[in-house]
Structure 1
Amino acid sequence: MAGTTKKHVVFDVVGTCVSYQVWFDAIASHLGPRFAEYGIKPQLFAFAWMEAAEREYTYLSLSGRYKVFSDVQGALFYRMLYQAGIPEPRKFATDADLKVVMDAYDRLEMRPGIHETFKKLRDAGFEVWALTAGDKRRVGGYFKAAGLELPEANLLSCDQSGIGKPDPKAYEPALKMLGEGEKWFAAAHMWDVSAARTVGFKGAYTSVWEKEPCTEIFGEMDVMAETPVEMAEKIIAATS
């Protein structure tokens, strides 16, 4: 529980605290030579696959048929190969190939500076939380592998509510749990930060993943920064 702490930051995890690079590298090394025959760039394939998985995950949630994100992601693998221009995906790749790249997704690593980001916030009196669309086992493993402390009670998953981000209702349980005081939501996805703000969070955005914030679509956030560390510094400076 939040206890008597009056300042909180809830982080998105995958893409924000955690980089996709391990997964990109695994796809490039395992499927890259085969992709080259079709002129497919591995990272672009990975990005398209991830984006499609996030869309289908969100659509299922919005229609009341919530599914665990990793299940959605795995199920779309062959469809994405076809959409990338491979006419017979199940001859191009196998379930063993899928396991290799999905296992890599379980080994994603923290972005540079995340340890410092958390330390700065904690030293300034903030309690750090996380709200993820991923399952707690996988996402909790990212923190453990990095040696970065995050109490189990402070790691929240959309799987618990059965409502996926960016549905505003996905953020409400965290908002209510934190009680009174300063409540920030921090992410490297503008869709995520901007949605959290609709239910009462202050929004902090780092462009470390998307590069372009596209404020003409999402608007300005309370804090805008290039790196997670800079984002933490600006949150601290903006908090009374």
Structure 2
Amino acid sequence: MSSSKKHVVFDVVGTCMSYDVIFDAIDTRLGDRLRAECIKPKLLGYTWFEAAEREYTYLSISGRYTRFYDVFKGLFYRMLWMAGIEEPREFATDDDLAYILDQFMQLEARPGVAECFQILRDAGFTCWAFTAGDTNRVRGYFTRNGIDMPIENFLSCDSLSIGKPAPESYHPLLKQFENEEAWFAAAHMWDVSAAKAAGFKGAYCTVWEKEPCTELFGTMDIMEDSFPEMARKIVAASKTS
């Protein structure tokens, strides 16, 4: 473990890594069929992720923790039904689902993430990854995108059997960073605001959600539109604290 006294913990999927390859896979495999039903592939993908996050969270808080990937997979045909497809299992096949899920291994880094990490590390911060995904798959995203993230700096909800944003999911890292500077960075306002409520300083990037909805989640310590600028603001805030 690094002896650094300054830390930034990053959410990964949806924050550091974009969902775009999943949206593209839905379009490639089902796009024409979906558009014939007046369903936008990206909107289906978004609602699929959102529904999976809800069910993942509900399973966790009811004491039946299930891997996010398995929840996402299990909701495929239900999402088609909810989108207005009368016979989902005639409209799509398990092969379609397998094709889309295969792309889960190919997520690409959002613009500026590598630069963001470098700015923070140059200023003496240790960067961490805290994910609802499994560690091997998520670390693979960083490796394939040429971004260094040591395996010892990963924490997965799978190892805790507690899903974010339960307050206790953030506590192991906070305890590890006791009396040290600790930031949590995410492109999901629900995530960074929960981490802030648990005790982290909060840094939010609008790259995914665009609208922060501060009337719901509150204002974070730092709110920026790009990862490099978010990193610069964290460094500046650290120098003045």
TM-score by length of 2: 0.97
Report the counterpart of residue 231 of structure 1 in structure 2: 230
2:106 partner SS: coil
1:117 aligned to 2:93? no
State yes or no: 1:203 paired with 2:197. Answer: no
What's 2:72 paired with? 73
Match of 1:51 in 2: 50
Cα distance in 2, alignment partners of residues 179 and 219 from structure 1: 24
Deviation (angstroms), 1:208? 0.5
Following the alignment from structure 1 to structure 2, what is the Cα–Cα distance between the partners of residues 29 and 96? 13
Q: Distance in 2 between matches of 1:36 and 1:148?
A: 36
Task: Let me know the Cα RMSD of the aligned residues.
Answer: 0.8
How far apart are residue 164 of structure 1 and its match? Answer: 0.2
Query: What is the alpha-carbon distance in structure 2 between the residues aligned to residue 20 and residue 73 of structure 1?
Result: 13
CA distance in 1, matches of 2:26, 2:137: 19
For 1:66, the aligned partner's letter is: Y
Unmatched segments (≥5 aa) in structure 1: none
* 1:159-179 deviation per Cα after TM superposition (whole angstroms, max 9, x unaligned): 010000000111111111223
Equivalent AA in structure 1 for residue 128 of structure 2: W
CA deviation string 1:176-215 (max 9, x = no partner): 1223211000000110001001221000000010000000
Q: Secondary structure at the match of 1:198?
A: helix
In 2: Cα distance, 1:166 partner to 1:12 partner? 11
Amino acid at match of 1:110: A
Distance in 2 between residues matched to 1:180 and 1:4, nearest whole Å? 13
Structure 1 ranges of 4+ moved more than 2 A: none
Paired letter, 1:107: Q
2:99 equivalent to 1:100: yes
CA deviations 1:46-103 (Å, max 9, x no partner) are 0000000000000000111000000000000000000000000001111110000011
Distance in 2, matches of 1:198 and 1:113, equals: 27
Aligned residues with identical type, % of pairs: 61
Alignment of 1:7-156 (within 5 A): 7-156=6-155
**Residue type of the alignment partner of 1:184:** W
CA deviation profile, 1:3-48 (whole Å, cap 9, x unmatched): 4211000000011100111111111111101112211100000000
Any stretches of 5+ residues in structure 2 without a counterpart?
Answer: none
1:178 counterpart residue number: 177
Amino acid at match of 1:141: G
**How far 1:149 moved relative to its partner?**
0.7
Q: What secondary structure does 2:127 align onto?
A: strand
Give the deviation of 1:121 after TM superposition: 0.1
Query: Secondary structure of the equivalent of 1:33?
Result: helix
State the TM-score, normalizing by the size of structure 1: 0.98
